[in-house]
Amino acid sequence: MNRRSLLLGTAGAAALAVAGNWLVSRHTAGQTGFVTPAAAQDAGTILPDNVQGSENAPVTLIEYASFTCPHCAHFHETVYPGLKRDYIDTGKVRFILREVYFDKFGLWAGMVAQCGGAPKYYGISDMLFDGQRDWLGDMKDATVAANLRKIGLKAGLTNEQLDTCLNDQKRAEQMVYTFQQNAQKDAIDATPTLVINGEKHSNMGYPELKAILDAKLAG
């Protein structure tokens, strides 16, 4: 298996722990609340995408990825740099990262990534993928909490901003709802998955991706 399987719907939502009752500033474990299926479904708001690149690019590439997925981290290490250099930065590709939540740590990481808004989103996302093993550490709540806070501070967020973001239960529910709706619409069952101008593709290396993008750009 080169990707992680994705659980959607009621079972997936019930398994996601959020930061609503977890005060990250205290680095304490055992205080994590859960998004219930009803809460996620009642959130009712699909959050807007964070877009990287030109809005007028002829090709739109959506990547579904989890911040805790090793294969997603590998994609961002080996494929994304070329994609950004050759296609996103040159105005050929409009890139969208859509977060997938397998677990509470992936959701917590997403809350940190989104905390600074669009201007900081992709910078923090890069830090999360690049340092995935380090911030996950021993996989204990207190360790992950402290490490995610360090990443947020390094990215220029304040302790006050992080406290607000990581204790925003409503936002967490909207993030889960957004993930569920988008993943169901695009029939996402594993990560990383790429949707290129509406066509779904499995994980791939840069040469394969480059061939698809060049064909799309050639019309």
| Domain definitions of the chain by residue range | 47-218
Q: What is the pLDDT of residue 96?
A: 98
* Whether the predicted pLDDT of 38 surpasses 50: no
Interacting residues of 118 by C-beta distance below 8 A, sequence separation 6+: 50, 51
Radius of gyration of the chain (CA): 17
Task: Provide the Cα torsion 21, 25, 28, 33; round to 10°.
Answer: 20
| Range 167-190 average pLDDT | 92
* Whether the predicted pLDDT of 19 surpasses 80: no
Classify residue 2 as exposed, middle or buried by CB count within 10 Å of its CB (0-12, 13-18, 19+): exposed
Q: What is the pLDDT of residues 117-169, one digit of tens each?
A: 999 999 999 999 999 999 999 999 999 999 999 999 999 999 999 999 998 98
CATH number at 47-218: 3.40.30.10
The model carries a pTM of: 0.84
